[in-house]
Amino acid sequence: MASSKEQNSIYDIKISTVVPGFKSGHDGAQELTAMDLAMKLHYLRFVYYFKAPTFDGFTILKIKETMFSWLCHAYIPCGRFRRAESGRPFIKCNDSGVRLFEAKCHLSLDEWLESKDDSRHKVLVPNQVLGPDLAYSPLVLIQLTDFKCGGKSVGMSWSHVLGDAFSAMGFINLWAQAIAGHYPAQPLTMAQLPTKDQPLIMIQQKDTTYDLQNSKPKIDPLSVKRVDPVGDLWSTSNNSKMETVTFYFSTTELTRLQAQICGKKVDQQLPEFECICVVIWQCLAKVRHGSGPKVVTICRNDSKNRNKGIITNESQIISLVKTDKPIGDYEPFELGSLIMTKADDERMKIKEAMEIDEELPDFLIYGANLTFVDLSDASFYEMEVRGQKPAYVNCVIDSIGDEGVVLVLPTPKGCFDGRMVNVTLPQTQIFELKSVLEEDWCVA
């Protein structure tokens, strides 16, 4: 729980809407891919912290001016959802805009960042979800919070249906460019739907696969969890209260962990991300008394398939790692190599599962299984606002399944090079996880 100190320090919240300065969307309809729709229940919540001189003399009017010109080049996230006759949602690019919250904080930025309370970031980013009034729910919400010292935080809530974390960063980085007066040649676009021929092939493929296993009932892929139809309120309720805790792994700690996991096999090295996965997976198995997650989902950036200026959910590899024996029985290295080698790309299966069902099922991806998301190569700290880079960036995924999500994030340059890990789990497991991590791996 956030201590009352942090939560109560936010005051004077003003809400407005920023829109493209010129007619940009032309009321066009932006179709969504199956992958987009599979992600519709998830939200990414970013908080960027900027130290004092960054926003000095940059009044809210001027900030808004930059936003109005920024959104001309990124009008798709300004749209609103509508449903086609078939019930399939699409984005109507009607320039409805991005909701902007302005808030103030009694504390100084340093005080805020030094606080040990990991849920404090939550109050700096709007926590709205899409719906129930879908046609009037903004897809992106931004909160600007002024700290006492003159520092500022930029919190952005991004609907995952628009695209993954990298797409979201592309979107917000455009703003930083707009502040500097640089604009992209092309407005931000969304990944195109497969052309007309492709779905036909897909259907044919589907038919053949079903001929082969015709008697089998439809089974959802393991990487998704089907939830009760949510209707127009795109969020999920958890059985137990979820909480997020942040761990920091410094470079030295990471090398120590790598050494610990790999043991004597000097020739084989596990990358940092896999190490963290192994550590947390094993700890969590212990927390859950050995019956721990046998299946985990790994999400990685598919950097080869990622194009600049496109927001998409297609460029994130979602793969599944299955184990056949209890986690406790695995050697850490064994588990690590399993993640490295036995991860199966599930994207096609998810898409098929979406498309087969006419009614478009409501799926959870994050937290359907324990999900590790690799954002360690995300360029959070590359965003430059008026010559200043953010002092700290936090990111969590909201509205997830009960199995929990582990986000591996980069740390600010210079402070402690290493990794920052945001673990979101049911509240009851968090405390135990902390103690197990400390006992087994000496990670505080």
Q: Which two tokens stand for residue 43?
A: 């939200």
Integer angstrom CA distances of residue 88 from 32, 134, 162, 195, 357: 9, 13, 15, 18, 11
Select the residue interacting with another protein from 3, 5, 8, 14 (CB under 8 A).
14
| Closer residue to another protein in complex, CB, 14/322 | 14
Q: In the stretch 47-86, what mask flags binding to another protein with x, by CB under 8 A?
A: --------------x--xx-xxx----------x-x-x--
How does strand 152-159 pair with strand 10-18?
A: unpaired
Q: Answer yes or no: are the C-beta atoms of 165 and 375 closer than 8 Å.
A: yes
* 122: its two tokens: 């939550």
Site size for another protein (CB under 8 A): 29
| In contact, 171 and 74? CB cutoff 8 Å | yes
Structure tokens at 408: 């591996």
- Please name the residue ranges forming H helices in 159-247: 165-179, 197-212
**Nearer Cβ to another protein (86/239):** 86
Residue 371 near residue 297, CB atoms below 8 Å: yes
Burial class of residue 218 (count of CB atoms within 10 Å of its CB; 0-12, 13-18, 19+): exposed
Answer whether 109's CB lies under 8 Å from 151's CB.
yes
Interface characters, 188-227, with another protein (x: CB under 8 A):
----------------------------------------
Q: Which is nearer to another protein, 61 or 444 (CB)?
A: 61
Residues 279-318 that bind another protein (CB under 8 A): none
> Quick check: 156 and 170 in contact, CB under 8 A?
no
Distance CA 14, CA 310 (A): 31
Question: How far apart, in whole angstroms, are the C-alpha atoms of residue 341 and residue 138?
Answer: 40
Stretch near another protein under the rule CB under 8 A, chosen from 17-25, 162-170, 396-404, 405-413: 17-25
Instruction: In angstroms, give the least distance from the CB of 75 to another protein.
Output: 10
For residue 309, the minimal CB distance to another protein (Å) is: 22
Q: Give the nearest distance from C-beta 132 to another protein in angstroms.
A: 12
Q: In the Cβ-directed half-sphere of 90, how many Cα atoms lie within 13 Å?
A: 15
- Kindly indicate which of the ranges 22-30, 40-48, 180-188, 378-386 contains the residues binding another protein, using the contact rule CB under 8 A: 22-30
Q: Which of 3, 5, 8, 15 binds another protein (CB under 8 A)?
A: 15
Shortest distance (Å) from residue 58 CB to another protein: 14
Residue 271: count of CB within 10 angstroms of its CB: 15
The rounded distance, in Å, linking the Cα atoms of 139 and 400 is 17
CA dist 382 and 123 (Å) reads 24
Distance, in Å, from the CA atom of 104 to the CA atom of 148, rounded to the nearest integer, reads: 8
User: Of 8, 22, 200, 431, which one interacts with another protein (CB under 8 A)?
Assistant: 22
At its nearest, how many Å lie between another protein and the CB of residue 195?
17
* Span interacting with another protein, options 8-16, 139-147, 268-276, 306-314, rule CB under 8 A: 8-16
Nearer to another protein, 22 or 431 (CB): 22
Report the residue number, 193 or 227, with the smaller CB distance to another protein: 193
Q: How far is the CB of 203 from another protein (least distance, A)?
A: 22
Site for another protein in 136-155 (CB under 8 A): 136
26 near another protein, rule: CB under 8 A: yes
Closest CA to 320 of 397, 376, 372: 372
Backbone angles phi, psi at 310, to 5 degrees: -125, 130
User: In the bound complex, what is the minimum distance in angstroms from residue 7's beta carbon to another protein?
Assistant: 22
Residue from 8, 17, 268, 291 in contact with another protein (CB under 8 A): 17
CB 46 within 8 A of CB 394: yes
Per CB under 8 A, contacts with another protein among 76-135 are 80, 82, 84, 92, 94-97, 133
> Applying CB under 8 A, does 13 fall inside the site for another protein?
no
- Minimum distance, C-beta of residue 130 to another protein, in the bound complex (Å): 14
Residue 29 or 348: the one with the smaller Cβ distance to another protein is 29
Contacts with another protein by CB under 8 A lie at 14-17, 19-23, 26-29, 61, 64-65, 67-69, 80, 82, 84, 92, 94-97, 133, 136
